[in-house]
Amino acid sequence: MESIESLLVDKTSHFDSIPKQYSFEQLQEMTSTVILPYEEPAPSDLIWYERLQTKFDINKMHQFLEGGSLHDSLETLKLMQQIERDPLLTTNSSYYEYGVESHREITAAKIARLAQYIEQDAPDFQTFQNRLNLIAIVDPQLGTRIGVHLGLFLSAIKGNGTKEQFNYWAVERGAFKIKDIYGCFAMTELAHGSNVARLETTATYNIEKKTFTITTPHIGATKWWIGGAAHSANHTVCFARLISKGHDYGVKTFVVPLRDANHDLLPGIAIGDIGAKMGRDGIDNGWIQFSNVEIPREYMLSKFTSIDDDGEVVDPPLAQLAYGALLGGRVTMTISEEEG
């Protein structure tokens, strides 16, 4: 049996066997005069050449695919160009070499940039929506992350809250323009995913203080997988069982502040990071536990079910109506899960 050392020596001797009759200068000259039998491929030239061969009208095809007017399809091209040229929003192949920390930092900077675009596009939300549709293609994790705030957090407030509540959180508190409030969507629990009706987090009404106490009764009720919770969100829409005067009224939605103005966790809130994921490291999915967290009565989203000062609960004539409003969130969840 040969020793490792002898094999190594063998290898060295193999290299040693390269003829030594040529000087370094001679070798240099030889290699510089070698003519390759083919031209080195230049992908950008090739693709440009192929595009020139196209037999159909590219602008018309673009318009057809966009499905709108020529004007609209050109607007989409302009938005795309803006994304490509924006040093913060653009992506390149090195993107895939970043670690979790860098992805999180870059995504946060990109969200700040998108907040500037919302301001610029306002009051025309359609342009911003078109921008987001393109972002979701160019940078899916950024699309999902902003989608959690606008599509899950704000949509849940819109779907389950009164007009006044939506106006308060979206406009007065600035969530719509990603100012001051950045939200997440705390529906899923460790022991309850698809079965939303069996969620176990509780929101117990306190008649004297006119507040709710939000509690995670045991580890299985820990909010789990919550996008944006680990680092960025300072508020959440929390799905919890409404308990008043000892009666359980089923799962309703509550806006719960998670972090203060310094971005420190508020008393009673425990949050952790779920960690790295394949392909979506820019999204900070986390877990949340609530230990007797108090929120004002008005933070229960009351479009369908309402509660008065004395803890009297008024459910809609059809309980399904209230669950219907939760569907939007679930559907958006499914779509964003497909993406992220």
Ligand X SMILES: Cc1cc2nc3c(=O)[nH]c(=O)nc-3n(C[C@H](O)[C@H](O)[C@H](O)COP(=O)(O)OP(=O)(O)OC[C@H]3O[C@@H](n4cnc5c(N)ncnc54)[C@H](O)[C@@H]3O)c2cc1C
Site string for ligand X, 254-293 (x = CB under 6 A): -------------------------------x--------
CB-closest chain residue to ligand X: 193
CB closer to ligand X out of 61 and 219: 219
Site string for ligand X, 142-161 (x = CB under 6 A): ------x-------------
Q: Is the sign of the CA dihedral 136, 142, 145, 146 positive or negative?
A: negative
Residues between 218 and 247 that touch ligand X (CB under 6 A) = 225-227
Q: Is the sign of the CA dihedral 134, 137, 139, 142 positive or negative?
A: positive
Give me the least distance between CB of 258 and ligand X, in Å please: 13
- What is the spatial distance between Cα 54 and Cα 50, in angstroms, rounded to a whole number? 7
338 is a site residue for ligand X (CB under 6 A): no
CB closer to ligand X out of 301 and 333: 333
Residue 106 near residue 98, CB atoms below 8 Å: yes
DSSP code at position 281: T
117 is a site residue for ligand X (CB under 6 A): no
DSSP assignments along 4-71, one per residue: HHHHHHHHHHHHHTS---S-HHHHHHHHHH---SSPPP-HHHHHHHHHHT--S-HHHHHHHHHTS-HH
DSSP code at position 215: E
136 is a site residue for ligand X (CB under 6 A): no
**Assigned token pair, 104:** 């999180």
CB closer to ligand X out of 146 and 307: 146
Member of 153, 182, 185, 254 binding ligand X (CB under 6 A): 185
Binding site for ligand X (CB under 6 A): 148, 185-188, 193-194, 225-227, 285, 333, 337, 340
